[in-house]
Structure formats: structure tokens, C-alpha cells
Amino acid sequence: MDLDTLITIAPNLFLPAAFAGVFLKAMLLGLGVAAPVGPMAFLCMRRTLAGGWRLGLATGAGIATGDGVYAGVAALGLTEVSAFVTDHGRPLHLLAGLFLAWLGYAALRPKPAAPMGDVVIGPALSLPRAWASSFLLTLTNPPTIIVFAAMLTAFVPISALSSAGMARLRIVTTVAGVTAGSLLWWVALVVGVGALRGVMAPRVARALDIAAGVAFLAFAGSELHRAVV
């Protein structure tokens, strides 16, 4: 193989490694954004305890999808969408606050007595509704776009793949990586919480439910404050 031919095909030889690096960085970014304990973590844990790993996984998948959407907006640089979400931050925080307040009420209200050995934490919820509610709740947090925009600029620079076609493929790879990283965290959380579900006494489950309810109300107060101030 002559030198001219090698120079022509060399960029294509490095493309798989370049995109693998973009995917890995984006996955770590998604994992880092999802990992901090917040209202979504409490929601995923509570639903896992209430309905098992399928319900918890549906909830986590909804959150990961929301993270992927915001990562896509940030990677595409859609200033119109970002401006719209930012400009309507108050009603979005209001909706998030009201939904979290409802979750807090649902967690704190007395539950019917359960048969011996069963754990009752909340009403049954279908998997599509669990996915949709967690997805929409994730989208009510406009600062997520700013976080992704800043972190993508630092960790997944577009200059590495500068042509138009490569840039589009990079964006798809970034969104897939962020979604995969976020989903990886929720799968790990669901597996850990699900392992405790079968051995948890009803009294302990109720104590955790009360703690989750108080946390939901605290998060709701924070969101409502952000909606008003």
C-alpha cells in the first residue's frame, strides 16, 4: 500500500475508535447526571418497592429518555427549544412541584392492611404510565439543558468530528451514550432496591414510605419556591 492510499483511508480507520470514545464519554456523562440522589431517585426506589423491578425499570427508562432528549437538544444547539424551555421555567417548576406534592401525599397517606408477608407501599401503576410520568417529570427541569450543554462542550467537543455528516452521527452517538449511561444507573438502582423488597418487613417498608413522602414534599417546596421567586 502506497503512502497516498494510506493517507486517504487513514481517517476511516480511526472513526470507530473516535465514535467509541464519544459514546463512552457521553455514557459517563449520563451516569454522572443520573447518579445524584434527588426526587427521581426516590420515585424510582418507591415504585420498585411498590410494584417490583418492572415498574422501577419503566420509571428509570422514562428518566433516561428525558435525559436523552435534553442531551439531544444541548448537542444540536437548538437555541429556540432551549430558550422556550428556559422562558417557561416557572410553569414547568410549578407543574413539577404540584406533581411532587401529590407524590408526597400518596406516600404519606395510610395504606390498607396487607396480608402477612406482603408489602403495600402504593397503588398499582401501569408500566406505560410509569414511563410517561417519569419522562414528563424529568422534562420539567429546564436547567438540565444548561448542564448538558456545558458538560458536552467540555467532555465531548464537536471539533473532533467536524464535517457535517460526522457531526450528525456524533450527535446521535452522544444522545445514545447519555441515555445508556442514565439507564445503567437506574438498572443498578432497581436491582439493588429490588433485592431488598422480598425480605423487607411491612413496618420497615412503611417507614421508608414516610421518609420518601417527606422527601417528596421537601422537593415539592423547592420547586414551588423556584416557580414563585
The tens digit of pLDDT for each residue in 69-81 reads 888 888 777 666 6
Tally Cβ neighbours within 10 Å of residue 107. 24
What was the pLDDT predicted at 164?
A: 54
- pLDDT over 70 percentage in the chain: 71
Bigger pLDDT: 199 or 138?
138
Helices (H), the chain: 3-34, 39-51, 53-76, 79-87, 89-108, 127-139, 143-155, 164-197, 202-228
Pick from 56, 48, 58, 36: nearest CA to 205: 48
**Is residue 125 pLDDT above 90, yes or no?**
no
What was the pLDDT predicted at 224?
A: 86
The predicted-structure confidence for 86-109, as pLDDT tens digits, reads as follows 677 788 888 888 888 988 888 888
What was the pLDDT predicted at 187?
A: 95
**Is residue 136 pLDDT above 70, yes or no?**
yes
Q: What is the distance between the alpha carbons of residues 3 and 52, in angstroms, rounded to a whole number?
A: 60
Cell digits of residue 162 = 467536524
Asked if 71 and 144 touch (Cβ cutoff 8 Å), the reply is no
**Backbone phi and psi for residue 37, each to the nearest 5 degrees, phi listed first:** -70, 125
Kindly indicate the confidence band of residue 212, based on its pLDDT and cuts at 50, 70 and 90. confident
Query: What's the CA angle centered on 20, arms 18 and 22, to 5 degrees?
Result: 70
pTM of the full structure: 0.74
Asked if 70 and 77 touch (Cβ cutoff 8 Å), the reply is no
Cell digits of residue 132 = 410517561
What was the pLDDT predicted at 185?
A: 94
Q: What is the mean pLDDT of the chain?
A: 76
Asked if 19 and 167 touch (Cβ cutoff 8 Å), the reply is no
SS3 assignment, position 146:
helix
Mean pLDDT computed over 183-187? 94
